[in-house]
Amino acid sequence: MATKADFSEDEWKAMEKGVTGAGMLVSVSDRDFTDSFGEASALAKALAAHRESPSELVRELAGTRGTGFGMTASPQEVESETIASLGVALATLTAKAPDEEIDAYRTLVLEVADAVAEAKGGVTPVEEETIGKLRLALGQG
């Protein structure tokens, strides 16, 4: 089982940013200011739900505070940095963690993204496309 102690600070930040960035990316893909608060709440609730995960790695990542993005981050920045972070996270996990931890990470990322998409009353086609990009970045395309 992998824990935060098994990773460098940069590796850990990439894993965190991959998780929170997935939620942010879905949120900015179909932007509506009135939905932003509900989506932020959905992201927080999705993370909180994983604090009881059997995976210690997922429990630690679920305790992430903040998104790693500033208030002025453009949708393009959120997308490129999230996809890059997911690439680093997968490479790091592949090198340092058992396969079940990689699967647990993928599940965490996609469940956070799905929760944010569902926050507005259903997944839109644009959000589906965005989640598809996340799946590709996670090697599930």
**Each residue's pLDDT expressed in tens, for the chain with a length of 141 residues:** 899 999 999 999 999 999 999 999 998 887 765 566 778 889 899 999 999 999 999 999 999 887 777 777 888 999 999 999 999 999 999 999 999 999 999 999 999 999 999 987 788 899 999 999 999 999 987
Q: Does residue 4 lie in a domain region?
A: no
Q: Does residue 3 lie in a domain region?
A: no
Amino acid 112: pLDDT: 96
Q: Does residue 56 lie in a domain region?
A: yes
Instruction: State the Cα–Cα distance between residues 130 and 14, nearest whole angstrom.
Output: 19
Instruction: State the Cα–Cα distance between residues 126 and 27, nearest whole angstrom.
Output: 10
Instruction: State the Cα–Cα distance between residues 129 and 17, nearest whole angstrom.
Output: 20
Q: Does residue 107 lie in a domain region?
A: yes
Q: Does residue 96 lie in a domain region?
A: yes
Amino acid 68: pLDDT: 76
Q: What is the reported pTM?
A: 0.92
Q: What is the number of domains present in the chain? A: 1
Q: Does residue 122 lie in a domain region?
A: yes
Instruction: Write out the residue range of the structural domain in which residue 57 sits.
Output: 9-65+73-137
Q: Does residue 1 lie in a domain region?
A: no
Instruction: State the Cα–Cα distance between residues 42 and 50, nearest whole angstrom.
Output: 13
Six token digits for residue 104: 């647990």
Q: Does residue 103 lie in a domain region?
A: yes
Amino acid at 70: G
CB 75: neighbour CB atoms within 10 A?
Answer: 14
